[in-house]
Amino acid sequence: MDAVNEQTQQGASGPSFRSWMGSMWLYTLLRFALFFVLWGILLLAGLGALVAAAVALFLSIPLSFVLLAVPRQRFAAQIEARVEAHREQRQRLDSELDPEHHDD
């Protein structure tokens, strides 16, 4: 219920909780998918399960930087937008509570 309240409070002025969570889950699922695809390929290549998992983990990190650059940038942009919206909301609230206070 808090997520719904946060989304309605932000409205059009800030990023929605839903889009932020969507970009986070998309990136997370793609990272897991990359790992499992690599793990499956290495298992088919004849490596043992534990060795294949270790190699897949080792390979998935640099590959995710290259292959998942766009979803990662989208997720980072969502985080930046949420932080900026929070700062603006806090400044607005500060100015409403203390109208004599000036940020110089």
- If you average pLDDT over every residue of the chain, what do you get? 82
Domain boundaries, the chain: 16-97
CA distance 54 to 28: 19
What does the pLDDT look like over 22-44, one tens digit per residue? Answer: 888 888 999 999 999 999 999 99
Confidence of residue 13 (pLDDT cuts 50, 70, 90): low
Share of the chain above pLDDT 70, in %: 81
Q: And the tokens for 89?
A: 């909301």
What does the pLDDT look like over 54-71, one tens digit per residue? Answer: 999 999 999 999 999 998
pLDDT top residue among 99 and 87: 87
pLDDT top residue among 11 and 59: 59
Q: What is the pLDDT of residue 81?
A: 87
3-state secondary structure 37-104: HHHHHHHHCCCCHHHHHHHHHHHHHHHHHHHCHHHHHHHHHHHHHHHHHHHHHHHHHHHHHCCCCCCC
Query: Comparing C-alpha atoms, which of 84, 76, 86, 83 is closest to residue 26?
Result: 76
pTM of the model: 0.64
Query: Comparing C-alpha atoms, which of 61, 56, 34 is closest to residue 45?
Result: 56
For the segment 69-94, the average pLDDT, to the nearest whole number, is 88
Q: What is the pLDDT of residue 102?
A: 57
